[in-house]
């Protein structure tokens, strides 16, 4: 009846029980609060059933922040373990639990923090920037969100029932095969990622079509904001890379469930094929994350330098080059596999080549700032932090692209420092910058600048303290994923742990910033175009509508007459005088757009949420070999989607 | 400038949905590319089990191929029939009742051919399983079953979709909505046909010739 699920699955050691309690109590508190404030109806009507891209974006951000807390807890636990588990001391975590933690940390940070953060910002901003009322497929968008949430929840459930994978974030076989990982951990890993992966793929298609088909009249490709360009590149990568992940994890699950031999050590399986396949997805994945961050900076730097972006065309070309090159570098993740000198040399050179378009972008940002009137607001601080750390990370990356050097550095903490340099200093700082930059647009009030600056300085100092020592430790020969370390490494590990605490302080200030800003929201109401500049700093169309935008975004679809579409509209109204208020300009700015017609908007629907719920049950069933549940979930999904296909009234009309 | 919102938005909608479906097909193509690559790598990893040359029966597979190709032809005819009507090329006017039954008949024929193909594939699989050459026999057989099984699963879902489409057409008749669905089903069906041609060539023909 319940497959492999027995009461034993809920009984853990003391540390795991703590985590179990946090999840259970957390869930109960949320449910209790919803009952206490009688908010179920509100939650259902306004959020769970929403197909509005702005609400979906906000929910992605909430998911990302919740999971960031868990991922950060994991990081602090690892840092603490490596400080105390020195020499003969075993520390407070068992080796198996430690392995689960570093696996969970990687999986969470990439799939359930960075990806939802990215899709959150894309959802919030892309339709606004291209002057559209919604995405191409609003219902699919809601389903993507809830599938991602279902994946994340399945992963969190592993804290309560059973265990998580203890195999590293990419689950290399043969370790992840049934022979060596007989528990349910790897199955949780596979199905959490499969469910979330379907959501990601659907989002990729959705936004590609949105950008290609839904731009406002006059917005040619070469007039699109750079953020939209980078999202286009990123979505292309999603569409071409995520099916590889789906296939690879599918093959691994066939090995585990049906006893096949794709990656096993016996009967002809090839573990190295898995490593090739997973990185054929994994390397593009890095660029899926970093490209939108590049796009965000390309929006922020011109606004806060009060100059138009330097080298628009080269920015576009660089983005597309990165998209292409990202598919021909994957072997650099395993030069030590032994593919031979020529293969390694090819992939090493390709890896170095990718630094060229990236360098183009860096110089474009620098030239945009050159002779600009720079305003050091928080988004700009995140940009400066990004620039320094990202260049450092980029250079260590080029260093490791040399196969000979990589043989020394492979699997060492040098590598760990490098990719955190890229993912934190690059991706996360970019998303934080975008979050602060677009927050007033979405919520209608600005974030507290002072606390934002405190958060930034704690983050950057903490980041350098936490990761620069890892470069040194890597060169000293310390490998990654150690639950017990040699005493000579301890001093630098203590520095790194202090750094992690400083980062935690930065996160504390971010939370405080949110709370304080919400409390002071009446005082800090943002106009439609709140960033500094003689006529408001905004250059792109999201600033042309109110903050927060109405759910149909634009009462009339704007017409685009050039790059920086909103700036062009402002300039068309003659020199903008300081002190001139928004409402006076508003009518003229949007005058060019005069499609006063009925607005057709999609109706809210719970189907996406229900489908994801069924996917969650189905995933849980497969993990525990509860086959009736797995089948029931799949059949329910099929029936619901078929029933939905017969619904005809999926839109309603707003009279204007 | 005046616009014609109601007609143009219908047009845009159609355009958008079919374009998105093309994009989905491309991503599915990548999934199959992964499985083909896996097959290519593991093709010779028979580990004492049978090799592809020992398993192929070219006449049997040729029959399967012909059935699937014919079904692609009939679904094409169905789409053609839905699009064709007296004197105009627009999709919006003039769906006669006679045409509706022609389309339904052609879809039914396609569905039957699809099911025949699936039946033959299941027969091949059960034959292999009965001989002890299941997917867990060797890495080669794992990749063989997975590649062909994934295609078969697609054909199964395509058939299910076709059945639902027929229900749509019976209930609502031919209108821009159902014709759009028909367009997508036929795209999907042709796509599966193309994938099968690759399977037929790379797995069966090259296997039989032991290339």
Confidence of residue A16 (pLDDT cuts 50, 70, 90): confident
Q: What is the pLDDT of residue B149?
A: 97
State the Cα–Cα distance between residues A441 and A573, nearest whole angstrom: 23
The 10 Å CB-count burial string (b at 16+, else e) for A512-551 is: ebbebbeeeeeebebbbbbbebebbbbbbbbbbbbbebeb
Choose the closest CB to A267 out of B17, B47, B177: B47
The pLDDT tens digits for A178-218 are 999 999 999 999 999 999 999 999 999 999 999 999 999 99
The yes-or-no verdict on residue A581 having pLDDT over 50 is: no
Record: contact B41-A212, CB cut-off 8 A: no
Candidate from A206, A246, A261 with C-beta closest to B142 = A261
Determine, for residues A262 and B164 on separate chains, whether the beta-carbon distance falls below 8 Å: no
Flag whether A565 is in a domain: yes
Q: Say whether pLDDT at A9 is over 80.
A: yes
Whole-number pLDDT of residue B85: 58
Cα A474 from Cα A345, distance rounded (Å): 23
Tokens (6 digits) for A604: 């809210």
Average pLDDT of span A434-443: 96
Query: How far does the CA of residue A56 sit from the closest CA of chain B (Å)?
Result: 20
Q: Please tell me the predicted confidence (pLDDT) of residue A582.
A: 40
Does the residue A431 lie in any domain? Answer: no
- Write out pLDDT tens, residues A483-518: 999 999 999 999 999 999 999 999 999 999 999 999
CB contact under 8 A, A273 and B138: no
Does some domain include residue A569? Answer: yes
Q: Is the pLDDT of residue A615 over 90?
A: yes
Contact A594 B1 (CB under 8 A): yes
Question: Which pLDDT value is given to residue B93?
Answer: 46
Q: Is the pLDDT of residue A585 over 70?
A: no
Of the candidates A209, A280, A595, the beta carbon closest to that of B20 is on A209
Q: Provide the pLDDT for residue B95.
A: 55
- The answer to whether B3 contacts A595, with C-beta atoms less than 8 Å apart, is yes
- Minimal CA separation from A178 to chain B, in Å: 14
Alpha carbon of A183: minimum distance to chain B alpha carbons (Å) = 20
- pLDDT reported for residue A536: 83
Are the beta carbons of A279 and A325 closer than 8 angstroms?
no
CA A455 – CA A508 distance, rounded (Å): 8
What integer pLDDT is reported at residue A596 of this predicted model? 53
A601 or B210, higher pLDDT:
A601
List all residues of chain A from 202 to 221 with a beta carbon under 8 Å from chain B. 204-206, 208-209, 212-214
pLDDT digits (tens, 9 = 90+) for A271-306: 999 999 999 999 999 999 999 999 999 999 999 999
How does the average pLDDT of chain A come out, rounded?
93
Give yes or no for residue A109 having a pLDDT over 80.
Answer: yes
Q: Per the domain annotation, does A204 fall within a domain? A: no
For residue B176, give the nearest of B75, B84, B90 by alpha carbon. B90
Closest alpha carbon within chain A to B21 = A205
Domain that includes residue A562, residue range: 527-594
For B86-127, what is each residue's pLDDT tens digit? 344 444 444 556 688 899 999 999 999 999 999 999 999 999
Check residue B88 and report its DSSP letter.
-
Which residues make beta-bridge pairs with A366? none
Q: Which residues of B touch A266 (CB under 8 A)?
A: 47
CA atoms within 13 A on the CB side of A290: 24
Among the partner residues A136, A208, A267, nearest to B139 by beta-carbon distance: A267
Strand-pair partners of A86: A485
Which pLDDT score is estimated for A251?
A: 98
pLDDT tens by residue, A31-78: 999 999 999 999 999 999 999 999 999 999 999 999 999 999 999 999
Residue A517 within a domain? no
Contact criterion met (CB < 8 Å) for A204 and B28: no
**From the CB of residue A134, how many other CB atoms can be counted at a distance below 10 Å?**
20
Residue among B11, B19, B23, B160 with most chain A CBs within 10 A, to mutate: B23
CB-CB neighbors (< 8 A) of B1 in chain A: 594
What is the model's pLDDT at position A110? 97
- Compute the count of residue pairs across chains A and B with CB atoms less than 8 Å apart: 118
A246 touching B (Cβ < 8 Å)? yes
Question: From the CA of B65, how many Å to the nearest CA of chain A?
Answer: 25
Q: Do B23 and A205 lie within an 8 Å CB cutoff?
A: yes
Chain A 174-203, residues with CB within 8 Å of chain B CB atoms: 201
Å between B84 CA and nearest CA of chain A? 25
How many structural domains does chain A have?
A: 1
| Residues in chain A closer than 8 A to B34 (CB atoms) | 243-244, 247-248, 277, 280
A624-643 residues touching B, CB cutoff 8 A = 638, 642
Residue A553 domain-assigned? yes
Shortest CA gap A155–chain B (Å)? 24
Question: Each residue of A339-360: pLDDT tens digit?
Answer: 899 999 999 999 999 999 999 9
Question: For B51-61, how does the pLDDT look when each residue is reduced to its tens digit (9 = 90+)?
Answer: 999 999 999 99
CA distance A586 to B76: 52
Q: Report d(CA A332, CA A401) in Å as an integer.
A: 7
Check residue A513 and give its pLDDT.
97
Interface of A with B in 526-555 (CB under 8 A): none
Q: How confident is the model at residue A13 (pLDDT cuts 50, 70, 90)?
A: confident
Tell me whether residue A578 is in a domain: yes
Q: d(Cα B135, Cα B130) in Å, to the nearest integer?
A: 12
- The whole-number average pLDDT for the span B137-159 is 97
Contact B164 A645 (CB under 8 A): yes
- For the record, the structure tokens of B179 come out as 């014709």
Domains, chain B: 5-208 (1.20.120.80)
**Would you list which residues of chain B are within 8 Å, Cβ to Cβ, of chain A?**
1, 3, 5, 9, 12, 15-17, 19-20, 23-24, 26-28, 30-31, 34-35, 37-38, 41-42, 45-47, 135-140, 142-143, 145-146, 160, 164, 168, 171, 177, 181
Euclidean distance between CA atoms A512 and A520, whole angstroms: 12
* Top-confidence residue, A579 or B109: B109
Of B186 and B4, more confident: B186
Q: Give the pTM.
A: 0.94
The answer to whether the CB atoms of B45 and A268 lie below 8 A apart is yes
Q: Give domain status of residue A446, yes or no.
A: no
**Which pLDDT does position B173 carry in this prediction?**
87
Q: Token pair of A466, please?
A: 């936490």
Q: Say if the Cβ atoms of B16 and A214 lie within 8 Å.
A: yes
Query: Would you give the distance in Å from CA A162 to the centre of its chain?
Result: 27
Which single residue is written with the structure tokens 């540390």? A15
Q: Which residues have C-beta within 8 Å of that of residue B161, sequence separation ≥ 6?
A: B185, B188
pLDDT at A557: 87
ipTM over 0.90: yes
| Percentage of residues in chain A having pLDDT higher than 90 | 85
Helix (H) / strand (E) element for A651: namely: strand A651-654
Q: Is the pLDDT of residue A586 over 50?
A: no
Which residues of A are less than 8 Å from B17 in CB distance? 137
């Amino acid at each position: 009846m319940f497959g492999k699920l027995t009461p034993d699955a809920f009984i853990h050691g003391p540390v795991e029980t703590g985590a179990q309690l946090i999840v259970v109590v957390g869930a109960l508190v949320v449910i209790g609060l919803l009952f206490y404030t009688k908010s179920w109806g509100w939650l259902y009507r306004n959020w769970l059933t929403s197909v509005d891209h702005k609400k979906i974006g906000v929910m992605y951000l909430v998911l990302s922040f919740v999971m960031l807390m868990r991922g950060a807890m994991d990081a602090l636990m690892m840092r603490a373990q490596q400080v105390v588990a020195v020499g003969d001391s075993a520390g407070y975590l068992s080796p198996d639990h430690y392995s689960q933690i570093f696996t969970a940390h990687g999986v969470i940070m990439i799939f359930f923090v960075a990806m939802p953060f990215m899709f959150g910002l894309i959802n919030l901003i892309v339709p606004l920037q291209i002057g559209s009322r919604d995405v191409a497929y609003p219902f699919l968008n809601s389903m993507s969100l809830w599938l991602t949430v279902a994946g994340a929840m399945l992963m969190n459930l592993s804290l309560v029932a059973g265990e998580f994978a203890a195999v590293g974030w990419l689950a290399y076989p043969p370790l992840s095969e049934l022979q060596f990982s007989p528990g349910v951990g790897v199955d949780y890993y596979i199905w959490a990622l499969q469910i979330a992966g379907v959501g990601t793929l659907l989002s990729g298609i959705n936004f590609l079509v949105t950008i290609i088909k839904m731009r406002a009249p006059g917005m040619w490709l070469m007039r699109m904001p750079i953020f939209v360009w980078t999202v286009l590149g990123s979505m292309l990568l999603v569409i071409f890379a995520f099916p590889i992940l789906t296939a690879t994890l599918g093959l691994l699950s066939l090995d585990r469930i049906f006893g096949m031999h794709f990656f096993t050590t016996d009967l002809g399986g090839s573990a190295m094929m898995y490593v090739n396949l997973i990185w054929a997805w994994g390397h593009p994945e890095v660029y899926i994350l970093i490209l939108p961050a590049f796009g965000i900076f390309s929006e922020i730097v011109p606004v806060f330098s009060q100059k138009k972006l330097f080298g628009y065309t080269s920015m576009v070309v660089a983005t597309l080059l990165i998209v292409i090159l990202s598919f021909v570098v994957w072997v650099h993740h395993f030069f030590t596999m032994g593919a031979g000198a020529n293969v390694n040399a090819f992939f090493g050179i390709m890896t170095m080549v990718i630094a060229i378009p990236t360098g183009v972008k860096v110089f474009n940002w620098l030239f945009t700032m050159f002779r600009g009137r720079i305003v050091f607001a928080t988004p700009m601080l995140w940009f400066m932090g990004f620039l320094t750390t990202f260049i450092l990370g980029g250079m260590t990356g080029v260093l490791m692209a040399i196969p000979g050097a990589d043989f020394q550095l492979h699997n060492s903490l040098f590598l760990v420092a490098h990719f955190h340099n890229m993912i934190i200093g690059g991706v996360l700082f970019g998303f934080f910058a975008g979050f602060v930059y677009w927050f007033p647009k979405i919520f209608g009030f600005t974030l507290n600048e002072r606390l934002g600056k405190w958060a930034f300085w704690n983050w950057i100092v903490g980041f350098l303290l936490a990761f620069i020592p890892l470069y040194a430790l890597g060169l000293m020969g310390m490998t990654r994923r150690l639950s017990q370390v040699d005493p000579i490494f301890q001093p630098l590990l203590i520095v790194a742990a202090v750094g992690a605490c400083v980062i935690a302080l930065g996160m504390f200030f971010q939370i405080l910033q949110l709370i304080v800003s919400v409390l002071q929201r009446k005082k800090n109401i943002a106009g439609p175009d709140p960033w500094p500049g003689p006529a408001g700093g905004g250059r792109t169309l999201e600033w042309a509508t109110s903050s927060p935008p109405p759910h149909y975004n634009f009462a009339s679809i704007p017409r685009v007459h050039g790059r920086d579409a909103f700036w062009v509209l402002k300039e068309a109204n003659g020199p903008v005088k300081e002190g001139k208020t928004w409402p006076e300009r508003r009518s003229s700015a949007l005058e060019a757009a005069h499609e006063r017609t009925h607005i057709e908007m999609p109706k809210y629907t719970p189907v996406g949420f229900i489908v994801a719920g069924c996917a969650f049950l189905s995933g849980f069933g497969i993990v525990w070999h509860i086959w009736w549940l797995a089948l029931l979930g799949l059949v329910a999904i099929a029936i619901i989607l078929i029933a939905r296909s017969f619904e005809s009234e999926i839109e309603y009309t707003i009279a204007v | 400038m005046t616009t014609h919102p109601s007609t143009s938005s219908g047009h845009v909608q159609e355009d958008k949905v079919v374009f998105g479906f093309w994009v989905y097909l491309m991503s599915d193509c990548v999934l199959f590319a992964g499985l083909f690559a896996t097959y290519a790598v593991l093709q010779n990893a028979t580990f004492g089990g049978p090799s592809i040359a020992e398993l192929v029966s070219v006449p049997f597979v040729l029959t399967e191929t012909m059935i699937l190709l014919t079904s692609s032809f009939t679904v094409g005819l169905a789409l053609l029939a839905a699009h064709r009507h007296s004197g105009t090329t627009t999709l919006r006017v003039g769906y006669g009742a006679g045409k509706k039954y022609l389309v339904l008949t052609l879809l039914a024929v396609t569905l039957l051919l699809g099911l025949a193909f699936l039946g033959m594939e299941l027969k091949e699989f059960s034959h292999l399983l009965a001989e002890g050459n299941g997917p867990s026999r060797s890495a080669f057989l794992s990749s063989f079953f997975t590649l062909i099984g994934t295609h078969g699963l697609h054909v199964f879902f395509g058939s299910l979709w076709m059945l639902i489409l027929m229900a749509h057409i019976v209930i609502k008749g031919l209108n821009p909505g159902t014709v759009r669905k028909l367009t997508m089903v036929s795209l999907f069906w042709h796509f599966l046909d193309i994938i099968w041609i690759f399977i037929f060539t790379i797995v069966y023909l090259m296997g039989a010739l032991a290339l």
